């Protein structure tokens, strides 16, 4: 699903470097680490949102820098600050649907109901949590093979986070889909992630199966502190 080799993304004095990393289908991968570690930079490079990445990057066999459209039609990307058209929710969803042949209208209807969104509401009227739920719907509506979630729980209460996690798990109940999730809600990541990539100062300090890395006697948060990546 994803292959990375000798990836560099430079932002002034900051340099994200991922030497070798691959992700198989049907996995949930948690990207964790402190602020400024490079989590968002890595996810944006995979989504083809920053074209200045150096090294080998492949998503579903495509290089997002060379063939961004092929990646965009197969990868759903959501971040807590992703811009939205200034429209009513129902009008926005209808407008965006025209850009994606894989758009699933029935799924959208189900998610709008599940997330308790009022389609008549304008985007400018939404609370932080409502905006988060709308962005997640937009990412899921194209039935992505790869789902990338950057801080998807922003603004959500406990019930909202539970619905989000349930939805993510439903999405990956499919051997041909993969989810990458970066979140400061470490307990949520630990609960759903099959694998972890731990970043600190732009470097991968740990990667592998969650159970093997964290163990049974500590939490993910405690493990990050031990690794100097909290």
Cα distances (angstroms) measured from residue 51 to each of 55, 64, 141, 225: 11, 8, 25, 33
Q: Is residue 218 situated within a structural domain?
A: yes
Question: Is pLDDT of 85 > 90?
Answer: yes
Q: pTM of this prediction?
A: 0.93
Q: Which CATH number belongs to the domain containing residue 222 in this structure? A: 3.40.50.300
43-66 residue pLDDT tens: 999 999 988 899 999 999 999 999
Tell me the average pLDDT of the chain. Answer: 93
pLDDT number for residue 70: 93
Q: Is residue 50 situated within a structural domain?
A: yes
Q: Is residue 204 situated within a structural domain?
A: yes
What is the extent of the structural domain holding 157?
2-84+146-227
Q: Is residue 160 situated within a structural domain?
A: yes
Rounded to whole angstroms, the Cα distance separating 5 from 54 reads 9
β-strands 2-11, 54-59 pairing: antiparallel
Task: Please name the residues in contact with 51: beta carbons below 8 A apart, sequence gap of 6 or more.
Answer: 65, 68
138-173 residue pLDDT tens: 999 999 999 999 998 888 888 888 888 888 788 767
pLDDT number for residue 230: 85
Q: Is residue 96 situated within a structural domain?
A: no
């Amino acid at each position: 699903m994803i292959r990375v080799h000798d990836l560099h993304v430079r932002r002034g004095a900051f340099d994200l470097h991922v030497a070798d990393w691959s992700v198989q289908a049907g996995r949930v991968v948690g990207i964790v680490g402190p602020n400024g570690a490079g989590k968002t930079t890595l996810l944006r490079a995979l989504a083809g949102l920053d074209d200045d990445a150096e090294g080998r990057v492949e998503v579903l066999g495509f290089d997002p820098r060379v063939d961004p459209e092929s990646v965009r039609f197969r990868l759903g990307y959501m971040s807590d600050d992703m811009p939205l058209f200034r429209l009513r929710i129902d009008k926005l969803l209808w407008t965006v649907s025209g850009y994606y042949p894989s758009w699933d209208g029935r799924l959208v209807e189900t998610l709008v109901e599940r997330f308790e969104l009022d389609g008549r509401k304008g985007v400018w009227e939404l609370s932080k949590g409502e905006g988060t739920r709308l962005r997640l719907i937009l990412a899921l509506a194209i039935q992505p093979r790869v789902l990338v979630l950057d801080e998807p729980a922003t603004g959500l209460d406990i019930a909202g986070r539970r619905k989000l996690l349930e939805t993510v798990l439903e999405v990956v109940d499919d051997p041909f889909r993969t989810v990458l999730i970066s979140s400061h809600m470490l307990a949520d990541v630990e609960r759903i992630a099959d694998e972890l990539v731990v970043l600190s100062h732009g470097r991968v300090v740990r990667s592998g199966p969650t159970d093997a890395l964290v163990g049974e006697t500590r939490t993910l948060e405690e493990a990050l502190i031990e690794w100097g990546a909290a």
